[in-house]
Chains A and B, each alone.
Chain A
C-alpha cells in the first residue's frame, strides 16, 4: 500500500494535475466513444425502421 490516506492518494505526491489530467481525459475519451457507438447503432436501427415503414405505406 502506497498511501497513508485518501487525500495523499488524490494528491499523487504533488503531481495530481498531471496524473489525473492523463487518467481523466483517457476515461472521458472512452466514455465518449462508447456513447458514440451506442448513438451510431441506434441511428442505424432507426433509419432501417423508417425505410421499412416508408416502403410499406
Chain B
C-alpha cells in the first residue's frame, strides 16, 4: 500500500476519470461471466431430479439475492464514511449504489416468485425470508425517495445515511432467517444433493452468475457515480473544463 496516496482517490476530481476508465472493464467482465454462466446454467447443469427444469431460476435468483444484501452493506459503509468524515465522494458512492441494489432486490423477489409458484404452489407467503427481503427493497426505496425529497445534497446525504445505517440490521436477519424461523424458503443446498457431479456444475453455474451480477453492479455504480459527480460538482472549474462538457454540440 505504500507509495499510493489513497486520499487522492477520495476527491471527486481524481475519482471521476478513474471510474470512467474502470467501468468498461467491469461491464466486459460481466458480459463474459454472464455468457459463460448462462451456458452452464442451461446446457451443462443437468435437470434437477425433484424440481425438473424450473430450478434453473436458481442461477439468477441466488446471485441477485446475494447482491441485494451485499450492495446494501457496501452502501451503508460508504454512507457511514460520508457521515463521519464528511466525505462527499463516499456519500455519492452510497447514492450511486442504491438504485442497483433496489433492482437486485426486485429481481430476487420476482425470480423467487416465479420459482415458488410451480415448485411450492404459491407466488408469495409472508414468511421470514420473503418478508425481510421485501423490507430490504422498501429500505432501498425509502433511501432513494428521502434523498430525492431533500434539496440540499449534504443534508440528503446525512438523512440517507441514517436510513442506510438503521436498515443494515435487516441484512443479517435476511441471511439467517431460514435458520432462525421455519420458512417455506429452502436452504441453499437442498436440491443439490443428488450426486457429486451435479452438485459441482450447478454450483459453478450459480457462482459464475453471481460474479456476473457482482461485476455488473460495480460497473453500474461507477457509471452512476460519474453522473452524480457531474450533477453535484457542476460549479467546479475542473468539471467545466471536461472535454465531454466542453464540446460545442448540445446533442452528444
Residues in chain A within 8 A of chain B (CB atoms):
1-3, 9, 12-15, 18-19, 21-23, 25-26, 29-30, 33-34, 36-37, 40-41, 43-53
Contacts and interface: CB of A to CB of B under 8 A. Distances in A.
Given A15-B53, A15-B54, A22-B57, A29 B114 contact: no
Contacts of A9: 42
Given A45-B244, A45-B245, A49-B250, A19 B53 contact: yes
B165 interface: no
B75 to A, nearest CB: 16
B216 to A, nearest CB: 7
A10 to B, nearest CB: 11
A2 B43 contact: yes
B115 A22 contact: yes
Contact of A26 (B54, B107, B223, B240): B107
Contact of A18 (B57, B100, B103): B57
Interface of B: 42-43, 46-47, 52-54, 56-57, 60-61, 64, 99-100, 103, 106-107, 110-111, 114-115, 117-118, 216, 220, 223-224, 226-227, 230-231, 234, 239-240, 244-247, 250, 252
Given A22-B115, A23-B60, A37 B106 contact: no
Nearest to B41: A23
Nearest to A40: B227
A30 B68 CA distance: 14
Given A22-B61, A30-B216, 13 more contacts: A9-B42, A14-B53, A22-B115, A30-B103, A33-B99, A41-B226, A45-B230, A45-B244, A46-B250, A48-B230, A48-B240, A49-B245, A52-B246
A45 B234 contact: no
A14 B53 CA distance: 8
A9 B252 CA distance: 42
- The list of the 4 closest CB pairs from A to B, nearest first, reads A13-B53, A44-B230, A22-B114, A15-B54
A22 B110 contact: yes
Contacts of A25: 107, 110-111, 114
